[in-house]
């Protein structure tokens, strides 16, 4: 049942959406919203236009007064209205006085006239209103024609007279101006508007009850009275106008009507609020501006600025407006200062601002088509690229030296080309033993550089250190057993080093990637670079320096080890060079971190790359290429051509292919093998002597020196074949036995056959090892294998 209801509701909803009425309503809503936005924009445009016209009129009146020495002949109205809530307290006072006049007019004095019909009393009323607030310029209580006593018109006026140091001056404007008729004068804007409004409505009435005193003990009976009562909304505000006949100031007036005993219009009470002392704020509205915000009911409404003029300034886009206080109702009461990232055109000016009054005048000339400088002047100049603030066109960002960079770039390109040539050359000669026996720096860039730098470092110098480690192990082994240190073993260890580096770099890239920082050179010029933090020092000291120290220690251990082609020597030089360069440049980077510049950093990177990488390439390959070339020339000079029928043994070809300066190296290696054989023979002689002593051998009288210098090793248990199966070992000539010399030293009971069996014969070549040729390497090696395979049974 529930599923059926859901399906029915979905069907109805889809039908409604698919209907034309639904989409037409949507279109109507969208159209209404667009029309509302358009209307708001139109209202804003008209309001701004009216405000600009009003400002120009204010400026025109001011200019007219200057040209006519303060004389004027009419009242100028502004076609705008202000938010009068800021003066509501003054207006409420006017309402109270108007209601008081209505009440007093209905009360009669002893002479039968209304109590309010008293000239002195009315003079004091208007004076008290003026003194209510400093912003009040004047106040009047004016009666309509023939409604006050026997006067045609009566209008007491109190105002702050500028000629009397702004003291309150009270006059009757009718008598003071020779019968001035404000009821017909068009310039009396303060009279016509409230009168017309009062004639158009009946005020509300309120009821009051009185008990008037007759004497000390009697009062009048309770009497009911009904009075017309005006409110704030019943009064009227005039538009801002320039009072040409009063104080010659800009003002706005609030007027409240009062009534006679028949509830007919009797006159008005006014209060004039001066505008000339209120600043015009033409700058844009800021969020922090609160000088004109009220509490909603008008009470306590600040009156410091006229916010209705906001946004009418003429500052250019490169400048920003700042209002000038205490300028009064004056257009152009602002200055235009350069925005952040711009600087004033005249760097020698004492005050680096544009005057708003001057900008307004030039704009007026621009509108009239007169010669002006509005379009060309009053603009600030953008700072140089990268500058946040500036006072002139000096650069803030370090400008790279293109010539230095191009030179270093050319050298880099040259080295890269040489490296490519090396790679091609190695590929061509990859089968040569000389080549095969060796192995061969935004946020993304900041991450990539340490990866390339340190992974490349561990590949190069880790390989060299591992090669040196293998040489050190082989050199220190005293046995003839071959060590299982193949290239695969070294590659696995190198992979472990790379894995450690990669793990550290991966954790760093994921958890603490580098940032881009803006630093300054010693000349206070800015540039960007990657942040160097604890990671850089950790990977250098715990990784690179550790690998180099280990490599230096290995180089020290094999400093005396002979090696073919002087490989160990060049490896040691490369590691020492890397250690010196890395340490030196690290110290330079730390000491010049705050004073360096991009060119210096670029040069340091250049030195680091080429002292590390280029030097390694030179040390590892140049001498090999030279040796390879020399060997090829030697082969071409010594190996017969294909047309020659002379056959050359392979061993001789091998010897002839070796350069002459390498023969000494082979002789040294032969000597090492001979020394090892000599030590082995001495140990075997000691063993033979002990075995012969244990078996009561008949030659116990022979001296230990002779027994250690001449002996035979039978290869079977049968002693009769001792003469045929014996091994001659190489010993120094001084220790070789001599049968003729030592016959008398044998015991007398020995037969000649036994003595002969104890003698060992040596060939002249074996007696003089130094006279062996370069081919003795093969013979010695053969003897070494023969000794290791013999059955050493006594």
Helix (H) or strand (E) holding 581: helix 567-591
645-672 average pLDDT score? 51
User: 366: helix, coil or strand?
Assistant: helix
Q: Cβ(646)–Cβ(640) under 8 Å? A: yes
Instruction: Reply yes or no on whether the pLDDT at 13 is more than 80.
Output: no
Q: pLDDT band for 131, please (50, 70, 90 cuts).
A: very high
Taking the C-alpha atoms of residue 239 and residue 50, their distance in angstroms, rounded to an integer, is: 13
| 62 conformational bin, left if phi > 0, alpha if psi -120 to 50, beta if neither | alpha
How high is the pLDDT of residue 778?
Answer: 40
Tokens coding 721: 């074949």
So what's the pLDDT on residue 677? 85
What pLDDT is attached to residue 565? Answer: 64
Residue 612 near residue 581, CB atoms below 8 Å: yes
Cα–Cα dist 136/156, whole Å: 16
Q: Check: CB of residue 142 under 8 Å from CB of residue 191.
A: yes
Of 449 and 30, more confident = 449
Q: What is the mean predicted confidence (pLDDT) over 429-455? A: 68
Q: Residue 259: pLDDT band by 50, 70, 90 thresholds?
A: very high
What is the distance in angstroms between the CA of the first residue and the CA of the last residue of the chain? 111
Length of the chain: 794
User: What pLDDT score was predicted for residue 300?
Assistant: 36
Query: Cβ of 729: how many Cβ atoms within 10 Å?
Result: 23
Exposure on the CB side of residue 523, measured as CA atoms within 13 A: 10
What tens digit of pLDDT does each residue of 401-439 get? 888 888 888 988 898 898 888 878 877 876 675 555 444
pLDDT above 80 (res 306): no
Q: How many Å is the Cα radius of gyration of the chain? A: 59
pLDDT above 80: residue 239 = yes
pLDDT of residue 26: 56
> Which one has a higher pLDDT value, 417 or 647?
417
Q: What's the mean pLDDT in 117-136?
A: 93
Eight-class DSSP state of 618: I
Q: What is the DSSP string of 722-790?
A: TTTS-------GGGS--TTTTGGGS-TT--HHHHHHH-----HHHH-GGG--TTHHHHHHHHHHHHHHS
The answer, yes or no, to whether residue 267 has pLDDT greater than 90, is yes
**pLDDT beyond 50 at 656:** no
Tens-digit pLDDT profile for residues 732-783 = 444 445 555 555 544 455 455 545 555 443 344 443 443 333 334 344 344 4
% pLDDT > 90, the chain: 16
Mean pLDDT to the nearest integer, 146-171? 91
| Beta-carbon contacts of residue 326 (< 8 Å; ≥ 6 apart) | 279
715, pLDDT greater than 50: no
Longest Cα–Cα distance of the chain, Å, equals: 191
With a cut of 90, say whether residue 290 has pLDDT above it.
no
pLDDT-derived band at 387, boundaries 50, 70, 90: confident
Q: For the chain, count helices (H), then strands (E).
A: 23, 19
pLDDT at residue 725 greater than cutoff 70: no
- The C-alpha angle 748, 753, 759, rounded to 5 degrees, equals 90
For the chain, the average pLDDT equals 74
Give me the sign of the Cα torsion angle 379, 385, 388, 394: negative
Q: Which tokens sit at 654?
A: 């091998």
Task: Tell me the pLDDT band of 147, cut-offs 50, 70 and 90.
Answer: very high
Buried-exposed string 270-282: b where 16+ CB fall within 10 A, e elsewhere: bbbbbbbbbbbbb
- Residue 642 in this model has a pLDDT that exceeds 80: no
Q: Which two tokens stand for residue 633?
A: 């020339």
> What pLDDT was estimated at residue 200?
83
DSSP code per residue over 525-579: -EEEEEPP-HHHHHHIIIIIHHHHHHHHHHHHHTTT---GGGHHHHHHHHHHHHH
Which pLDDT does position 588 carry in this prediction? 81
Tell me the mean pLDDT in the region 170-185.
84
For residues 757 and 750, the answer to whether their CB atoms sit within 8 Å is: no
Quickly state the pLDDT bin for 167 (edges 50, 70, 90).
Answer: very high
Is pTM beyond 0.95? Reply is no
């Amino acid at each position: 049942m529930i599923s059926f209801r859901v399906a029915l509701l979905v069907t109805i909803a889809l039908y409604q959406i698919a209907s034309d009425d639904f989409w037409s309503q949507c279109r109507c809503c969208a159209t209404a919203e667009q029309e509302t936005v358009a209307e708001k924009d139109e209202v804003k445009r008209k309001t701004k236009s009216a405000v600009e016209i009003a400002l120009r009129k204010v400026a025109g009146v001011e200019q007219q007064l200057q040209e006519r020495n303060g004389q004027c002949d009419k009242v100028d109205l502004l076609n705008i209205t202000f938010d009068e809530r800021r003066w509501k307290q003054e207006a409420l006072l006017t309402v109270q006085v108007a209601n008081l006049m209505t009440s007093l007019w209905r009360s009669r004095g002893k002479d039968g006239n209304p109590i309010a019909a008293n000239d002195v009393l009315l003079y004091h009323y208007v004076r008290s209103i003026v003194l209510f607030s400093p912003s009040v310029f004047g106040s009047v209580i004016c009666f309509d024609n023939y409604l006050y006593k026997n006067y045609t018109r009566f209008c007491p006026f109190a105002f702050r007279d500028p000629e009397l140091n702004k003291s309150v001056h009270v006059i009757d404007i009718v008598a003071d101006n020779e019968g001035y008729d404000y009821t017909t004068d068009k310039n009396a804007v303060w009279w016509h508007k409230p009168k017309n409004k009062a004639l158009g409505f009946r005020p509300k009435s309120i009821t009051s009850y009185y008990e008037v005193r007759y004497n000390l003990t009697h009062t009048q009976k309770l009497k009911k009275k009904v009075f017309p009562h005006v409110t704030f909304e019943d009064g009227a505000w005039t538009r801002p106008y320039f009072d040409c006949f009063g104080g010659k100031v800009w003002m706005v007036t609030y007027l409240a009507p009062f009534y006679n005993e028949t509830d007919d219009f009797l006159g008005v009470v006014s209060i004039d609020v001066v505008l000339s002392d209120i600043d015009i704020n033409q700058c844009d509205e800021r969020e922090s501006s609160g000088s004109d915000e009220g509490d909603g009911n008008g009470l306590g409404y600040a009156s410091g600025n006229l916010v209705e003029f906001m946004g009418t300034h003429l500052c250019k886009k490169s400048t920003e407006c700042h209002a000038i206080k205490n300028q009064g109702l004056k257009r152009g009461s602002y200055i235009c200062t350069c925005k952040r990232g711009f600087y004033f055109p005249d760097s020698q000016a004492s005050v680096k601002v544009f005057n708003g009054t001057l900008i307004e005048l030039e704009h007026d000339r621009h509108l009239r088509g007169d010669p002006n400088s509005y379009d060309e002047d009053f603009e600030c100049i953008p700072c140089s690229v990268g500058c946040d603030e500036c006072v002139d066109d000096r650069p803030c960002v370090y400008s790279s030296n293109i010539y230095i960079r191009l030179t270093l770039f050319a050298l880099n390109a040259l080295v890269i080309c040489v490296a490519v040539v090396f790679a091609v050359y190695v590929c061509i000669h990859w089968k040569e033993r000389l080549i095969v026996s060796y192995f061969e720096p935004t946020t993304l860039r900041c991450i990539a550089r340490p990866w390339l730098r340190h992974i490349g470092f561990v590949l190069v110098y880790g390989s060299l250190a591992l090669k040196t480690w293998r040489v050190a192990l082989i050199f220190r082994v005293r046995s003839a057993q071959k060590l299982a240190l193949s290239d695969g073993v070294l590659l696995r260890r190198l992979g472990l080093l790379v894995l450690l580096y990669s793990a550290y770099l991966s954790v760093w890239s994921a958890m603490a990637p580098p940032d881009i920082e803006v630093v300054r050179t010693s000349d206070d010029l800015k540039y960007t670079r990657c942040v160097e933090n604890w990671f850089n020092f950790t990977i250098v000291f715990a990784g690179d320096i550790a690998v180099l120290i280990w490599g230096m220690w290995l180089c020290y251990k094999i400093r005396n080890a002979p090696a073919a082609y002087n490989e160990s020597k060049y490896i040691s030089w490369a590691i020492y060079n890397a250690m010196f360069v890395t340490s030196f440049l690290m110290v330079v980077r730390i000491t010049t971190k705050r004073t360096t510049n991009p060119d210096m950093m670029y040069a340091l990177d250049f030195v680091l790359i080429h002292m590390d990488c280029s030097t390694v390439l030179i040390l590892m390959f140049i001498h090999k290429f030279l040796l390879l070339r020399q060997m090829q020339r030697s082969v071409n000079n010594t190996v017969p051509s294909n047309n020659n029928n002379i056959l050359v043994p392979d061993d001789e070809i091998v010897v002839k292919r070796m350069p002459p300066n390498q023969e000494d190296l082979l002789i040294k290696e032969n000597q090492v093998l001979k020394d090892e054989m000599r030590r082995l023979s001495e140990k075997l002689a000691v063993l033979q002597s002990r075995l012969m002593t244990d078996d009561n051998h008949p030659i116990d009288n022979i001296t230990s020196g002779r027994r250690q210098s001449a002996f035979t090793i039978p290869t079977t248990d049968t002693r009769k074949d001792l003469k045929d199966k014996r091994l001659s070992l190489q010993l120094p000539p001084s220790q070789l036995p001599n049968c003729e010399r030592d016959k008398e030293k044998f015991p007398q009971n020995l037969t000649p056959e036994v003595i002969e069996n104890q003698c060992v014969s040596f060939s002249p070549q074996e007696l003089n090892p130094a006279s062996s040729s370069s081919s003795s390497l093969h013979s010695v090696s053969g003897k070494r294998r023969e000794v290791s395979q013999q059955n050493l049974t006594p």
